[in-house]
Amino acid sequence: MAFSDCPFCHQIVPSSELERHADNHFVEEELARDADIAQQIAAAPTTLSSITDWENGKGSGCSTSACGRTMGNEEEMHVIIEKISCLTRLQIRATFYKVEGGLLALLRRCLEMESRNSVSILSDFVDHFQSVEAEDSGWGCGWRNIQMLSSHLLLRRLEAREVLFGGSGFVPDIASLQRWLEIAWQRGFDVHGAYSFNHKICGSSKWIGTTECAALFRSFGLKARIVDFGRNKNDSLLSSGYVGVKRKVDQIYGPMDRFLRGRHFGAPKVDSLTEENSISKDCWKNMCPPNQGSTKRSKDSNMKEKFEVKKARGHQVLAEWVWNYFHGEDVDKCTDARHAFVSDKMPLYFQHAGHSRTIVGIQANQVQPGMPRHYTLLVLDPGHRTEALERSLRENFGWQRFIKRGIHTLKKQQYQLCYVDLGLAHLEEIEQLKTVDSVFFES
Q: What pLDDT sits at residue 286? A: 43
- The domain limits of the chain are 3-90, 103-442
Q: What are phi and psi of 408, to 5 degrees?
A: -65, -15
Percent helix, strand and coil across the chain, each to the nearest 5: 35, 15, 45
Model-level pTM?
0.73
Whether 223 and 410 have beta carbons less than 8 Å apart is answered as no
Residue-wise pLDDT for 86-110, tens only, equals 999 999 999 999 999 999 999 999 9
The closest of 224, 225, 249 to 235, measured between CA atoms, is: 249
pLDDT exceeds 90 at position 163:
yes
Across all residues in the chain, what is the average pLDDT? 77
Q: How many contiguous H segments (helices) and E segments (strands) does the chain have? A: 16, 12
In CATH, what class is 103-442?
alpha beta
Residue-wise pLDDT for 200-225, tens only, equals 999 999 999 999 999 999 999 999 99
Q: DSSP letters of 239-263?
A: TTTTTS----EEEE-SS-S----ST
Whether 225 and 421 have beta carbons less than 8 Å apart is answered as yes
Q: Which residues pair with 225 in a beta bridge?
A: 419
**Rounded distance between C-alpha atoms, residue 272 and residue 234, angstroms:** 28
Whether 226 and 414 have beta carbons less than 8 Å apart is answered as no
